């Protein structure tokens, strides 16, 4: 009888031990999906594609070894999200690339799609805070997100980098003879979308870095500099690169700009 009782007790101990082991395994698996630090989100500009930041992220990860490209989010024209988790158990700093299929949508729609991606990161990977890097219109969308979404339960923004972003619009009238869509309308000087941006209050605890080039004929320095009127002075940093060869599209291919971004995000 005693042997039978001892056998039952031993079986119970084994079952409890196995259950405990499974529990801690599950806990470890869950923890592997949490990313420490603030992931950095990369947002392309008007008519941008995966290539817009693809080569920069390749340099960040493989040339400089500054972190890993953890996620790519593709947002379809209907707003549906397709996400690819590339982390494979690796940890922060994590780079996240957002690619909008409708890359000519209005500021309003594009920012909403970006917000949905960030909410997905929060709900699935417990991401509470992010850095944002945007090129051209992507920088404008980053500022718009920072103004409108974090107070509504979306991830907050730690630091923001705008590269060649025309916050006063594109001054070249000929540009709009070739480009006629919702985003192009929003990029016109004195558009309703840009005026809304100027009317909103920017958070006082977000540091912003704006980078422009004298060789950029799309987002000319005069337009880029108007971001000064939106961001509190103590939170704003600006660099105008004097280089006639550094054109609008070349800015996300510049090793000089790579290093400026790195210094601002991870050294300042």
Q: What is the pLDDT of residue 87?
A: 75
Q: How many domains does the chain have?
A: 2
Average pLDDT, the chain: 88
26 and 47 co-located in one domain: no
Q: Mapping DSSP to helix (H, G, I), strand (E, B) and coil, where does residue 102 land?
A: coil
Of the chain, the percentage scoring pLDDT greater than 70 comes to 84
Average pLDDT over residues 67-87: 93
107 and 165 co-located in one domain: yes
pLDDT tens sequence across 136-171: 999 999 999 999 999 899 999 999 999 999 999 999
Model confidence at 55: pLDDT above 50: yes
Give the side-chain half-sphere CA count within 13 A for 35. Answer: 29
Model confidence at 24: pLDDT above 60: no
16 and 88 co-located in one domain: no
If phi over 0 gives left and psi between -120 and 50 gives alpha, with beta otherwise, what is residue 263?
A: alpha
103 and 157 co-located in one domain: yes
Whole-structure pTM value: 0.86
Model confidence at 23: pLDDT above 60: no
Q: Does a cis peptide bond (omega within 30 degrees of 0) precede residue 57?
A: no
18 and 53 co-located in one domain: no
Q: Which CATH number goes with the domain that contains 164?
A: 3.40.50.1820
75 and 4 co-located in one domain: no
Strands ordered across the beta sheet of 81-85: 81-85, 68-75, 94-100, 40-43, 129-135, 156-163, 207-213, 236-241
- Lowest mean pLDDT of 31-40, 48-57, 111-120, 171-180, name the range: 31-40
Q: What is the pLDDT of residue 196?
A: 96
Give the CA-trace dihedral at 27, 68, 238, 150, to 10 degrees.
-30
Q: What is the pLDDT of residue 268?
A: 83
Average pLDDT over residues 25-43: 60
Model confidence at 20: pLDDT above 70: no
Q: Residue 14: pLDDT band by 50, 70, 90 thresholds? A: very low
Cα 226 → chain centroid: 22
Go through the chain and tell me how many residues it has: 268
- The whole domain housing 122 covers 36-266
Q: Residue 93: pLDDT band by 50, 70, 90 thresholds? A: low
27 and 72 co-located in one domain: no
Model confidence at 66: pLDDT above 50: yes
pLDDT tens sequence across 180-215: 999 999 999 999 999 999 999 999 999 999 999 999
Q: b vs e for 66-99, b when ≥16 Cβ sit within 10 Å of the residue's Cβ?
A: bbbbbbbbbbeeeeeeeeeeebeeeebbbbbbbb
100 and 196 co-located in one domain: yes
* Structure token digits, residue 62: 């493989």
Model confidence at 9: pLDDT above 70: no
pLDDT tens sequence across 212-249: 999 999 999 999 999 999 999 999 999 999 999 999 99
CA dist., res. 125 & res. 119, Å (int): 10
90 and 130 co-located in one domain: yes
Give residue for tokens 């259950």. 19
- Per DSSP, the residues of 161-229 read EEES--TT----TTHHHH--SHHHHHTSTT-HHHHHHHHSPPPTT-EEEEEEETT-SSS-HHHHGGGGG
77 and 204 co-located in one domain: yes
168 and 56 co-located in one domain: yes
205 and 76 co-located in one domain: yes
């Amino acid at each position: 009888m005693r042997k039978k009782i001892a056998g039952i007790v031993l079986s119970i101990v084994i079952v409890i031990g196995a259950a405990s082991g499974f529990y801690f395994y599950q806990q470890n698996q869950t923890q592997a999906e949490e990313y420490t630090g603030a992931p950095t989100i990369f947002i392309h500009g008007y008519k941008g594609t995966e290539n817009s930041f693809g080569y920069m992220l390749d340099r960040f990860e493989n040339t400089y070894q500054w972190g890993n490209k953890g996620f790519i989010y593709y947002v379809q024209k209907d707003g549906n999200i397709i996400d690819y988790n590339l982390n494979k158990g690796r940890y922060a700093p994590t780079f996240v690339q957002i690619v909008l299929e409708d890359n000519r949508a209005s500021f309003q729609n594009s920012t909403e799609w970006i917000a949905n991606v960030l909410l997905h990161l929060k709900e699935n990977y417990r991401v509470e805070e992010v850095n944002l890097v945007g090129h051209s219109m992507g920088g404008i969308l980053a500022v718009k997100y920072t103004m409108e979404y974090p107070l509504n339960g979306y991830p907050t923004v730690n630091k923001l980098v705008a590269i060649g972003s025309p916050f006063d619009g594109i001054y070249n009238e000929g540009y709009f003879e070739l480009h006629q869509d919702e985003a192009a309308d929003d990029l016109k000087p004195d558009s309703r979308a840009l005026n809304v941006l100027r009317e909103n209050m920017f958070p006082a605890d977000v540091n912003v870095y704006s980078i422009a080039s004298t060789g950029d004929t799309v987002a000319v320095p005069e337009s880029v500099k108007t971001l000064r009127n939106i961001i509190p002075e103590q939170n704003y940093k600006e660099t105008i690169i004097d280089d006639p060869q550094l054109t609008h599209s070349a800015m996300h291919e510049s090793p000089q700009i790579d290093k400026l971004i790195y210094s601002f995000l991870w050294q300042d």
